[in-house]
Amino acid sequence: MKTPSIHAARWWQAEDSLCVRCNLCPRFCRIKPGWTGFCGVRANIGGRLGSVAYGHPVSVNIDPIEKKPLARFMPGSRTFSIGTFGCNLSCSFCQNDSLSRGHYDLKSLPRYVAPEDVIELALRHGCQSVSYTYNEPTVFAEYAVDTAALASANGLKNVLVSNGYITPEAADALYPLIDAANIDMKGFSEEFYRSLCGASLEPVLNSIRRLYESGKHIEITNLVIPGHNDGEPMIHAWFDWVEKHLDKDVPLHFSAYHPAYRMRVERTPRETLFKIRQYGEDRGFTSIFLGNI
């Protein structure tokens, strides 16, 4: 099959000198002709924004739903998982930097996998859902939206594993198609997001509230990094926020960090995660899960 030309992107506007402004995420990248945005997969091609990642997954697998992780959604089922290159955060502790920081070669793109191909493969392999995962799905939102619509039409559920860093405009298109999401809340402070992720916490919290208030199944993961986001005040502040804006039955995942990418802090002690779980249980939270221990 001939590889289609770069797919037209959504959520952007033209500016002067053939530059474009991407409105997909809160970075609002201003992209010059021939360049990509921060994510590395949204390119200005002749004054128009294109999605290089569209139709070009670089990671395709069949996973147990629990691996997303989702503990309370379709347990025991299998999900057809796809991911591309690119991410809109710059986490120094990234656990999957080969994808998040990877880039496409425009002269030799991977095999094209159309949305209908994803659905055909998912059904052929007996999966009950399609997961947009591995890297940050927001950066391939056009591909996710088109695939998710077909998935729903064919009786498949849609699962989003995301950092939640998206504009309301793009979320309006993507989130209604999603049945279940696991949002990665990196650390409960603006300073944490600014210094270690090059981003802001507030848009992430807005995404979490949006999914919860729209009745989607939502679970939240926090990668616990010693000396950075494992302090008792920050953990309790996070529990406070969940109790106020969500409820105590929302599944919360706390995962152990291991040295990766640019950070070389020692691995999270098991005892730290056990202590966090005890904090939550003492406060009445009913669904706390520990990972990577």
Q: Give the total number of structural domains in the chain.
A: 2
52 in Cβ contact with 43 (< 8 Å) = yes
CA distance 71 to 74: 8
Same domain, 111 and 226: yes
CA distance 89 to 79: 25
- Confidence bin at 2 (pLDDT 50/70/90): very low
Task: Give residue 183's pLDDT.
Answer: 98
Same domain, 126 and 270: yes
Same domain, 112 and 215: yes
134 DSSP 8-state letter = S
CA distance 80 to 237: 35
Same domain, 216 and 85: yes
Same domain, 30 and 91: no
Percentage of the chain surpassing pLDDT 90? 94
Q: What is the SS3 assignment for 22?
A: strand
Same domain, 14 and 141: no
**Residue 12: domain span:** 7-51
User: pLDDT per residue over 217-250, tens digit each?
Assistant: 999 999 999 999 999 999 999 999 999 999 999 9
Mean pLDDT of the chain: 96
Same domain, 14 and 106: no
Task: Give residue 261's pLDDT.
Answer: 86
Same domain, 158 and 18: no
User: pLDDT per residue over 65-123, tens digit each?
Assistant: 999 999 999 999 999 999 999 999 999 999 899 999 999 998 899 999 999 999 999 99
| Spatial CB neighbours of 220, under 8 Å, sequence gap ≥ 6 | 182, 183, 184, 185, 208, 242, 250, 251, 252, 253
- Confidence bin at 3 (pLDDT 50/70/90): very low
Residue 183 counted as domain residue: yes
Residue 78 counted as domain residue: yes
Same domain, 33 and 140: no
- Confidence bin at 264 (pLDDT 50/70/90): confident
Residue 1 counted as domain residue: no
Same domain, 202 and 126: yes
Q: Across the beta sheet with 7-8, what order do the strands follow?
A: 7-8, 48-51, 42-45
Same domain, 124 and 97: yes
- Domain with residue 248: its CATH number is 3.20.20.70
pLDDT(147) > 50: yes
Q: Give the mean pLDDT of 128-148.
A: 98
Task: Give residue 4's pLDDT.
Answer: 59
Query: Which of 34, 51, 68 finishes a domain?
Result: 51
Task: Give residue 1's pLDDT.
Answer: 38
pLDDT(211) > 70: yes
Q: Give the mean pLDDT of 46-67.
A: 98
Structure tokens of 81?
């998982």
Residue 2 counted as domain residue: no
Same domain, 32 and 65: no
Angle (CA) 190-271-71 rounded to 5° is 70
* Total-model pTM: 0.96
pLDDT(177) > 80: yes
111 DSSP 8-state letter = P
